[in-house]
Amino acid sequence: MHDLPEILFANPVWHALHTRHAHFAVSHGDACRYPANVVPFAAIKAPTAESMQQLRSLLKADESVWLIGEAYTAIPELVRHETLECLQMILPADVAVPDGKENIGKLADENANEMVALTTVAFPGFFRQETCRMGDYYGVRSPSGELIAMGGERLKLQEYSEISGVCTHPAFRGQGLAASVIWEVVRGQRRDGAVSWLHVGCANHRAIRLYRHMGFAEVRKVTLHRIAPQD
């Protein structure tokens, strides 16, 4: 069974922006971030006052970003608004992947508005207009053509690809659509030789039950901090 190496996954945004997602990186010294229209994540190399000052220089006055880490050095110029406890989970290589469903289709940049609208129902603010550029996304449509379920890839580092953006419209839950989409993402990742992993909020018991049922294993808890410039 694979694990998620502490050296990478204690600070996954930093390592993603310095490897497979380096083309997204907006950097200053020991701080970096994704563009605001991609995803609201930032990282620092180490929790120092200097790196936090460098991060402050990358933020606009009216925006916030999420840092992953157990602790960081507080500076007067930045304020922490909230924290989010998450589990990191991995799909072991020996978990068998079922055959695909015919009703799942590939999503592209032209579907960005639909994806943002659907994810806003489940987790507003995390999925942006260009989040879909981070990896491959798939969706399920209703008979009338409405996007009702989706999922895809977010952070990518070395041979590890994160599954994210998984959601189903409330009117269509209970049909196994989320699991079908996740398996479609996993199939693509395994074809690429990547290990599938994900973040899930510790309070999202419904999702955690689904992931466990599919064979995902918990690796560790991490803390996300939402920070913003001081008014």
What tokens does 19 get?
A: 């490897």
What's the rounded Cα separation, in Å, for the pair 86 and 95? 23
pLDDT confidence of 122, banded at 50, 70, 90?
confident
What's the rounded Cα separation, in Å, for the pair 155 and 103? 26
Is residue 2 pLDDT above 80, yes or no?
no
Tell me, what's the pLDDT at 121? Answer: 87
Tell me, what's the pLDDT at 118? Answer: 96
Tell me, what's the pLDDT at 102? Answer: 81
Tell me the per-residue pLDDT of 15-43, one tens digit each, with 9 for 90 and over: 999 999 999 999 999 999 999 999 999 99
* 194 CB neighbour count, 10 Å cutoff: 20
130 and 38 in contact (C-beta within 8 Å)?
yes
Tell me the per-residue pLDDT of 142-198, one tens digit each, with 9 for 90 and over: 999 999 999 999 999 989 999 999 999 999 999 999 999 999 999 999 999 999 999
Tell me the per-residue pLDDT of 71-84, one tens digit each, with 9 for 90 and over: 889 999 999 999 99
pLDDT confidence of 1, banded at 50, 70, 90?
very low
Tell me the per-residue pLDDT of 125-147, one tens digit each, with 9 for 90 and over: 899 999 999 999 999 999 999 99
Domains and CATH numbers, the chain: 6-86+223-229 (3.40.630.30), 89-220 (3.40.630.30)
pTM across the whole model: 0.94
Residue labelled with tokens 């199939």: 187
Tell me the per-residue pLDDT of 46-55, one tens digit each, with 9 for 90 and over: 999 999 999 9
| Mean pLDDT for the chain overall | 95
